[in-house]
Amino acid sequence: MVNKPLLEFPTDYPIKIIGRPSDEFRARVHAVVLRHAPGLEAERVSERLSGNGNFLSISYTLLAESREQVEALTAELKACEGVMMLI
């Protein structure tokens, strides 16, 4: 029996990045995402501030073309200054 891959590409791929709210954090994260998904449409991005305002989550729904694209994006986001968590 051949194992079927978990995802079939292209596919919508949701990712949420959490960090401290600032314009710099937002700009760094967005620049990384756009390097890996240059055709990203604005309506596929949303933000949410935590209840006490200490954290900002930025959610993207990307049209992922390959596993390699997703892996490269997540690796760069993990190394991005200010990123505390990826979901």
- 30-to-50, 52, 58, 64, 66 alpha-carbon distances in Å: 19, 23, 9, 16, 20
Per-domain boundaries in the chain = 11-86
Please check the confidence at residue 1 and state whether its pLDDT lies above 70.
no
Q: Band of the pLDDT at 7, cuts 50, 70, 90?
A: confident
Quickly name the fold that domain 11-86 has: Alpha-Beta Plaits (3.30.70)
Q: Band of the pLDDT at 2, cuts 50, 70, 90?
A: low
